[in-house]
Amino acid sequence: MTRVYGDPDAFAIEALAGFAAAYAEHVRLVPGGVVRATPGAAGKVSVVVGGGSGHYPAFAGYVGYGLADAAVAGDVFASPSSQTIVDVARAADRGGGVVLGFGNYAGDLLNFGLAAKHLNDDGVRAATIAVTDDVASAGPDDRASRRGVAGDLVVFKVAGAAAEQGLTFDDVVEIAGLANDRTRTFGVAFSGCTLPGKSTPLFSLDPGRMGLGLGIHGEPGISEREVVPADELADLLVELLVAEAPAGSGGRVAAILNGLGGTKYEELFVLWHHLGQRFARYGLDVVAPAVGELVTSLDMAGCSLTLAWLDDELELLWTAAADAPAFMRGPARPTGHGHGGEQPQQSAPAGGASDAALAPSPIDAVNVGQADPRSRRAAEYVLVGAVAVAEALERDEDELGALDAIAGDGDHGQGMRRGAASGRDEAIRLVDAGAGASTVLRGVGRAWGARAGGTSGALWGAMLSAAADALSDDDAPDARVVADAVAAACDALIEHGGASVGDKTIVDAIVPFSERLRSRIDEGAALAEAWSDAARSAQTAADRTANLRPKRGRARPLGERSLGHPDPGATSFATVVATITPLLAG
Amino acid sequence: MTRVYGDPDAFAIEALAGFAAAYAEHVRLVPGGVVRATPGAAGKVSVVVGGGSGHYPAFAGYVGYGLADAAVAGDVFASPSSQTIVDVARAADRGGGVVLGFGNYAGDLLNFGLAAKHLNDDGVRAATIAVTDDVASAGPDDRASRRGVAGDLVVFKVAGAAAEQGLTFDDVVEIAGLANDRTRTFGVAFSGCTLPGKSTPLFSLDPGRMGLGLGIHGEPGISEREVVPADELADLLVELLVAEAPAGSGGRVAAILNGLGGTKYEELFVLWHHLGQRFARYGLDVVAPAVGELVTSLDMAGCSLTLAWLDDELELLWTAAADAPAFMRGPARPTGHGHGGEQPQQSAPAGGASDAALAPSPIDAVNVGQADPRSRRAAEYVLVGAVAVAEALERDEDELGALDAIAGDGDHGQGMRRGAASGRDEAIRLVDAGAGASTVLRGVGRAWGARAGGTSGALWGAMLSAAADALSDDDAPDARVVADAVAAACDALIEHGGASVGDKTIVDAIVPFSERLRSRIDEGAALAEAWSDAARSAQTAADRTANLRPKRGRARPLGERSLGHPDPGATSFATVVATITPLLAG
């Protein structure tokens, strides 16, 4: 959905003007396009690229040293007119002639073709390069008919570097043609895009479906299927492109993993991680990959993989320095979007990052030491409780997440589930190792704090560790010791959390729980009975907290609870203690 | 909607691994985060930033020379655990101590706070900077409670540059604190984001509504209202922030226009164009602005404006060289995202680009010359026709666009409407100037070709110009001359378009139209009658073309019509000639 615009008819030109303003040191605005703010050397061949708008960074984002000399911008998804192309090309010409680069679409073929004719008639040497990398748009027997998509960038980068290095007009045209012959792209789409001023997308896909080879303007693809997991998507993309490898090409490839606009960076990186594990398998050495949004289609969701099989000259030009707003490479070491190192072997292994690198932080091992048999029996109660709590929090994950989403970031259920599961696993390990109750509970706390993350992870880690310090490995805890442990957890929570009763946090539940537990035990009640009463008090407090209307006003130090919305901490605490109740009765 | 992932629990870590692979020369993967591949100078202060995942380029994209030394990545929208932060900080420490930078959220406050405590206990000097730039999350009287959003980047950039320049630990902490005190952000959201593995967004807004001050995890904002045009949005953002200007600050500001993920580059540039016109009005000199996706929230649609009121030292640090994957500035001249020139006055004026720069290419003026009165009368028929056609194509714009969207990019209706309107305006100008029929029609063709863009613009420009050449300014065209003109247009179309009858393009309609017109006139029919018959033939052919089933197979040179779907050219041609019929009868 496109939402930020004024006059829809002015969208493309206003976007171009705003771009030129943001990158004033890179580009200068001219009617219908942008040219380099600092022109290239006199006499050099100029590379002028373009097409419709709505594909940023294609095409204006490519204008800069080592890449394009100018970009022509048509209206959204519409080719610029031949006259506009001629005007921009004249502004970019340094006396060495103009190479016009664009994707192979009808309007662009016509208008850039007419422009080249006009320029040549007027004595400005001009040639066109129509990029044809989209393998989905025509068969291998008819590559000249294919559409141009993300492969534009490979061809433009090679042509731009060649022109920067002073190659002749004919040589720039020839090497750009070679780059196009060696470049293949295949893409998938998950959703359509919406033109400025329109309320419905240009095309659409059913939820959970993806279009294979769908064009960046919604042109028909080759098929449609269910969305697949990232590893299967990686298989699909690599296999399709490897099958299209140019005859007699080696294993060194330039690669672009392109996001179409609605597919986010992290998704692309997840896919790149899975792709990296496959490149090596197919004998591909990836050189200076580009992972990001490089040829978009407004807010269209989808991505494409581009591979360009390199020879020595193409590799030199692909990795050469560039300094455009959306594509930068340092001279010494490639940097910026599209960066990945001149040593391609750096990326394939890293792509398949070692398990060690992917493992979470280790938990500081607790020292099991010697434990009295009575404490070891108590430790088994701790283990049974840890198992039950992990079960309960897995059951309630979505409910707690939904409660959290009202005012927070919706991750509370996930964090509690992960923390409890880690605590359970550590409890199992420690009980098997013969640890006492204090040690096992300390281990549960450390595992919970280390693995859960978020607010609750830190708080539960601190609470459980404080409770563990109140227990001992030398004897079985009696009811008073349990009450002391709960009180210690309560104090630790208040110390770390900075909240008080009434702030609608976990404090609202643990304080009445601790007080009720203490008073019933002081009255001589058995632990099971006292705990049961206290758990009910916690539940009552949690329900009251959850139902409190948000009070207007300032955000509190617990920033995610801003504007006084209740957080789910009281509810999850009540769930945990209620889960323990029947175990004590048994 | 997040669609590319494998195991949702592994999303954040797989994204981190893929990122590290794509930027292997910038960063090295460690458990829970990334550190610079090339460490900073021994003894320098290390700046370690982080928070939950799902905000790329926050935080891993900031790791590099002149910015962060390391980034810690929690799970999606969840703070990393204190232990993970400690581990990453240890890997980044160069002996000068560690400054931990993060946004002011409960989980991050807790975990980074605990990490700083552990580090200091272990003899690694550590301090925390919680960024509090979001003016919507708390009142000016309670700035310490505010959330951290896109202002993170200003504070981290200043701290990173200070550390790179060798400032002491205390000085880095102090200048980072000053940057935070001077930084304000206000954002709007249009839609929520969806966590990996979830099918419904974390929160949602009604279509056409926007949330003011909504947090990047969906935390409550200050109000909700209808989406407003870009210029009003620019007013809203600038006014809110200017009202928050720090006391005694000057007019030089760092600026970030941030996209949250679902709002695209072109939309941000359109908004920047409108903002640029306002900065000057408020006496703001924008220094090295950053316009792009810099702190995102998965696929959340929305944007925010950040202003940081600079003093000389802050300006020096904000504009200092940086080389991180997602934020680069050259030493000589700022480059890359966030670039905009050390001379701020370059951006404000460019922001409000001059009308001249925004005007479309001028139309080559046709020479009116001398025209015979009979040809001038004929020219008035051309004008009447141009007016009627412009009306008809404006009426049919959406219908033609929808037909185009089946196989093309949906812009045909828009292009025809714009071309016809430009042709009409030029006809009016030329008839007023006393031009003959040939000159007026030539002017219509040039205006249409120059302003319409796209495929149809180029083709109609060529057709009308060819027809004009067959007319004369010396006498009134008779029926045979009109038939010659139509035949000339038909030849020009086939020459430029490269399509033949049966390719389901405009050619399918103009050929029978031209042939029928010629044959009826040869039979002695009056022009009105012959044209009427020919128009019916064109309509019949257009209907047949539009109803043809797509034939499978290769894309044709008219790439956007790939896979044989009919294009709307035949339909729009039939509309144009049918519009002329009644005028001839009159």
pLDDT in tens, A358-367: 555 555 667 7
* Mean pLDDT to the nearest integer, B79-97: 95
Who contacts B120 (Cβ-Cβ below 8 Å, separation ≥6)?
Answer: B126
- Could you report the per-residue pLDDT of B414-450, keeping only the tens digit for each? 889 989 998 988 888 888 888 999 999 999 998 888 7
- 8 A C-beta contact, residue A66 and residue A28: no
Written as six digits, the tokens of B154 are 């200003």
Q: How does pLDDT run across A24-55, given as a tens digit for each residue? A: 989 999 989 999 999 999 999 999 999 999 99
Substitution target in A264, A285, A346 with the highest count of B β-carbons within 10 Å is A264
Tallying the residues shown for chain B, one arrives at 586
Spatial CA neighbour of A336 closest among A373, A288, A272 = A288
Residue A560 pLDDT more than 50? Answer: no
State the residue for tokens 């929690």: B74
Q: What Rg value do the Cα atoms of chain B yield, rounded?
A: 32
Contact list in B for residue A452 (CB cut-off 8 A) is 81
Of B4, B217, B333, the CB nearest to A303: B4
What is the per-residue pLDDT for B216?
Answer: 85
Residues of chain A with C-beta less than 8 angstroms from the C-beta of B13: 358, 360
Q: Where are the alpha helices (DSSP H) in A280-396?
A: 312-318, 347-351, 355-358, 373-395
Q: Do domains B8-327 and B361-585 have the same CATH topology?
A: no
Verify whether the Cβ–Cβ distance B215 to A263 is below 8 Å. no
Contact A1, B302 (CB under 8 A): no
Instruction: Using alpha carbons, list the distances in angstroms from residue A123 to A102, A118, A119, A126, B43.
Output: 22, 9, 6, 9, 61
Q: Which of A78, A87, A293 sits opposite B415 (nearest CB)?
A: A78
Q: Are B56 and A497 within 8 A, CB to CB?
A: no
Q: Which residues pair with B252 in a beta bridge?
A: B285
DSSP A299: B
B472 secondary structure, DSSP code:
-
Per the structure block, which two tokens stand in for B132? 């509090």
pLDDT for the residue A343: 33
Contact B258/B294 with Cβ under 8 angstroms?
A: yes
Query: B249-268 burial, b if ≥16 CB within 10 A, otherwise e?
Result: eeebbbbbbbbbbbbbbbbb
C-alpha A111/C-alpha A476 separation (Å) is 87
Per the CB < 8 A criterion, the answer to whether A49 and A101 are in contact is: yes
Among B560, B561, B565, the strongest candidate for a mutation testing the A interface, having the largest count of A CBs within 10 A, is B560
DSSP A310-332: --HHHHHHHSS-EEETTEEE-SS
Return the residue in A560, A561, A563, A567 with the most chain B beta carbons within 10 A, the one to mutate for interface testing: A560
pLDDT score recorded for residue A329: 87
- Confidence band of B467 (pLDDT split at 50, 70, 90): very high
What are A144's two structure tokens?
């000249």
Of A53, A328, A405, the CB nearest to B202: A405
pLDDT above 90 covers a percentage of chain A that reads 61
Omega of the bond leading into A57 within 30 degrees of 0 (cis): yes
Nearest to A33 by CA among B442, B406, B353: B353
Q: Which are the contacts of B24, defined by CB distance < 8 A and separation ≥ 6? A: A340, A341, A346, A347, A350, B37
| pLDDT over 90, % of chain B | 61
**What would the two tokens of residue B507 be?**
């050619």
By the 8 A CB rule, do B97 and B125 touch?
A: yes
Q: Quote the pLDDT of residue B286.
A: 96
Q: What are A374-410's pLDDT values in tens digits? A: 998 899 889 889 988 998 998 888 888 888 777 667 7
Rounded to whole angstroms, the Cα distance separating B258 from B265 reads 10
Residues in chain A: 586
Q: Does B149 touch chain A (CB under 8 A)?
A: no
| pLDDT over 90 at B7, yes or no | no
More confident call, A314 vs B459: A314
CA distance B236 to B214: 15
Residue type, A319: T
CA gap A101, A99 in Å, rounded: 6
**Region B502-524 average pLDDT:** 92
The answer to which of A169-173, B205-209, B235-239, B355-359 has the lowest mean pLDDT is B355-359
From chain A, pick out residues whose CB is under 8 angstroms from the CB of B563: 219-220
Q: Which of A19, A455, A459 sits opposite B269 (nearest CB)?
A: A19
Tokens 């030491």, located at residue = A369
Give the model's pLDDT for residue A338.
34
Q: Where are the domains of chain B?
A: 8-327, 361-585
Residue B201: left (phi > 0), alpha (psi -120 to 50), or beta? Answer: beta
Question: Which residues in chain B are contacts of A121 at CB distance < 8 A?
Answer: none
Q: Is B449 part of the contact surface with chain A (CB cutoff 8 Å)?
A: yes
Task: Tell me the nearest-neighbour CA distance from A67 into chain B, angstroms.
Answer: 14
Q: What is the DSSP letter of A143?
A: G
- Above pLDDT 70, what percent of chain B? 90
Nearest CA in chain A to B202: A405
Token pair belonging to A421: 């599961």
DSSP 8-state class, residue A51? E
Backbone angles phi, psi at B505, to 5 degrees: -125, -175
CATH number at B8-327: 3.40.50.10440
Q: Is the pLDDT of residue A355 over 70?
A: no
Mean of the pLDDT values across residues A300-311? 96
Q: From the CA atom positions of chain A, what is the Rg in Å?
A: 32
B307 secondary structure, DSSP code: E
Picking from A260, A318, A335, A329, the residue whose alpha carbon sits closest to that of residue A292 is A260
Per-residue pLDDT at A550 exceeds 70:
no
In the DSSP assignment, the letter for residue A472 is -
As separate numbers, helices (DSSP H) first and strands (DSSP E) second, chain B gives: 19, 14
Confidence check: pLDDT of B340 > 60: no
What pTM was computed for the model?
0.77
Task: Out of A503-507, B68-72, B347-351, pick the least confident.
Answer: B347-351
Beta-carbon-side half-sphere exposure of residue A449 (alpha carbons within 13 Å):
28
Q: Is the dihedral of CA A50, A56, A60, A66 positive or negative?
A: negative
Query: What CA–CA distances, in Å, run from B125 to B86, B178, B214?
Result: 12, 20, 36
The 10s digit of each residue's pLDDT in A177-208 is: 999 999 999 999 999 888 888 888 888 888 88
A-contacting residues of B 450-489, CB under 8 Å? 450-459, 461-462
State phi, psi for B29 to the nearest 5 degrees: -75, 130
- What is the least distance, in Å, from the CA of B160 to any CA of chain A? 18
The whole-number pLDDT of residue B558 equals 35
Task: Say which CATH architecture domain A361-585 belongs to.
Answer: Alpha Horseshoe (1.25)
Cβ atoms of A83 and A42 closer than 8 Å? no
Which of B6, B323, B449 has the CB atom closest to A335's CB atom? B323
Q: How confident is the model at residue B344 (pLDDT cuts 50, 70, 90)?
A: very low
DSSP per position, A516-569: HHHHHHHTT--HHHHHHHHHHHHHHHHHHHHHPPPPPSPPPSSGGGGGGPPPTH
Of B16, B81, B414, the CB nearest to A457: B81
| Closest C-alpha to A443, from A432, A454, A427 | A427
Strand partners, A28: A35
Supply the ipTM of this predicted assembly: 0.77
Q: Chain A closest CA to B267's CA: distance in Å? A: 5
Query: Is the per-residue pLDDT at A278 higher than 90?
Result: yes
Q: pLDDT tens-digit profile of B165-206?
A: 999 999 999 999 999 999 999 999 999 888 888 888 888 888
Q: Of the candidates B22, B116, B42, which has an alpha carbon nearest to the alpha carbon of residue B72?
A: B116
> Do B361 and A267 lie within an 8 Å CB cutoff?
no
Partner residue facing A408 (CB), from B30, B145, B219: B219
Q: Please give the average per-residue pLDDT across A341-347, as a whole number.
A: 33
B3/A261 touch (CB, cutoff 8 Å), yes or no = no
The pLDDT confidence band at residue B363, using thresholds 50, 70 and 90, is low
Q: Does B122 reach chain A within 8 Å, measured CB to CB?
A: no
Instruction: Tell me the pLDDT band of A248, cut-offs 50, 70 and 90.
Output: confident
As annotated, the active-site residues of B are 217
B112, B82 contact by CB (below 8 A): yes
A295 touches chain B (CB under 8 A): no
pLDDT over 80 (residue B124): yes
CB contact under 8 A, A274 and B14: yes
Is A569's pLDDT higher than 80?
yes
Residue B359: is its pLDDT beyond 70?
Answer: no
Q: Chain A residues with CB inside 8 Å of B336's CB?
A: 325, 328, 336
DSSP state of B552: P
pLDDT tens digits, one per residue of B470-497: 999 999 899 999 999 999 999 999 888 7
Give the closest-approach CA distance of B538 to chain A in angstroms.
23
Identify the pLDDT of residue A351. Answer: 42
Q: Report helix, strand or coil for B217.
A: coil
Contact list, A210 vs chain B (CB under 8 Å): 3
Task: Give residue A362's pLDDT.
Answer: 55
A284 contacts on B by Cβ (under 8 Å):
none
Q: Which of residues 521-560 of B touch A (CB under 8 A)?
A: 550, 554-560
Q: Using alpha carbons, select from B499, B470, B472 the residue that is nearest to residue B487.
A: B470
At A503, give phi and psi (nearest 5°): -80, 5
The pLDDT tens digits for B297-330 are: 999 999 999 999 999 999 999 999 999 999 998 7
Is A489:A463 a contact under the CB 8 Å cutoff?
yes
pLDDT for A290: 96
B297 and chain A in contact, CB less than 8 A = no
Question: CB under 8 Å to B352, separation ≥6 — which residues?
Answer: A21, B273, B276, B277, B280
Strand, coil or helix: what is A369?
coil
Comparing CB atoms, the residue among A22, A330, A496 nearest residue B289 is A22
Strands B301-309 and B183-191: antiparallel
Q: Which of A154, A186, A195, A112 is nearest to A315 (CA)?
A: A154
d(CA A8, CA A19): 17
Contact list in B for residue A291 (CB cut-off 8 A) is 18-19, 22
Backbone angles phi, psi at B6, to 5 degrees: -110, -105
Best of B265, B296, B300, B549 to disrupt the A interface (most A CBs within 10 Å) is: B265
Furthest-apart CA atoms within chain A: distance in Å: 105
Please give, rounded to a whole number of angstroms, the shortest distance from the CA of A512 to a CA of chain B. 23
Catalytic residues of A: 217
- Give the helix, strand, coil percentages of chain B, each rounded to 5: 50, 15, 35
Tokens for A32?
């219908």
* Yes or no, beta carbons of A455 and B110 under 8 Å apart: yes
Interface check B564 vs A, CB under 8 A: no
Shortest Cα distance from B19 to chain A (angstroms)?
Answer: 5
Is the Cβ of A334 closer than 8 Å to some Cβ of chain B? yes
Which residues of chain A are within 8 Å of residue B12 when distances are taken between CB atoms? 266
Q: Does A110 touch chain B (CB under 8 A)?
A: yes
Phi, psi of A533 (to 5 degrees): -60, -45
Minimum-distance CB partner of A410 among B77, B82, B339? B77
Buried b (16+ CB within 10 A) or exposed e, B436-472: bbbbbbbbbbbbbbbbbbbbbbbbbbbbbbbbbbbbb
Per-residue pLDDT for A354 more than 60? no
Q: Residue B177: helix, strand or coil by DSSP?
A: helix
Q: Is the pLDDT of residue A554 over 60?
A: no
**Separation in Å, CA of B89 to nearest CA in chain A:** 13
User: How much is the mean pLDDT over chain B?
Assistant: 87
